[in-house]
Amino acid sequence: MARSLVIKVTAGADAPERCNQAFTVAAAALASGVSVSLWLTGESSWFALPGRAAEFSLPHAVPLPDLLGAVLAAGRVTLCTQCAARRNITPDDVMEGVRIAGAPAFVEEVTAEGVQALVY
């Protein structure tokens, strides 16, 4: 059975290296043929909005819009329901391909057979 990866990223511009690492691992896993589900929570929630990833910068790192685009193209991106609500982000606000879902969906994903969960 093929393994899949669920990555929860809690950091945004407040912890740029940790944030970028989560996106980099997600994109690298997809490039390796691994199924990836990326969850945006906490400060990374803002990256669900159009153009917000382009505002992020980290020296010597692949640009965040490129990494996010790779995940949107080949994996799944989910914005945490409560995180969205705390930031007044609605389904109409998010980029195409981003879904909003809560803890029950996260638990279902991470407890499925063959899943590895990572939290950044």
Domain residue limits, the chain:
4-119
Domain made up of 4-119: CATH architecture: 3-Layer(aba) Sandwich (3.40)
* Cα 25 from Cα 70, distance rounded (Å): 11
Write down the pLDDT at residue 1: 60
Give the percent of the chain with pLDDT over 90: 98
* Cα 61 from Cα 69, distance rounded (Å): 15
Taking the whole predicted model, whether its pTM rises above 0.85 is answered as yes
Q: Are 23 and 67 in contact (CB under 8 A)?
A: yes
**What average pLDDT does this structure show over 19-46?**
98
Comparing CA positions, the residue from 114, 79, 75 lying closest to residue 93 is 79
The pair of structure tokens assigned to 45 is 């929630």
Write down the pLDDT at residue 2: 80
Q: pLDDT per residue over 45-97, tens digit each? A: 999 999 999 999 999 999 999 999 999 999 999 999 999 999 999 999 999 99
Comparing CA positions, the residue from 87, 86, 84, 78 lying closest to residue 105 is 78
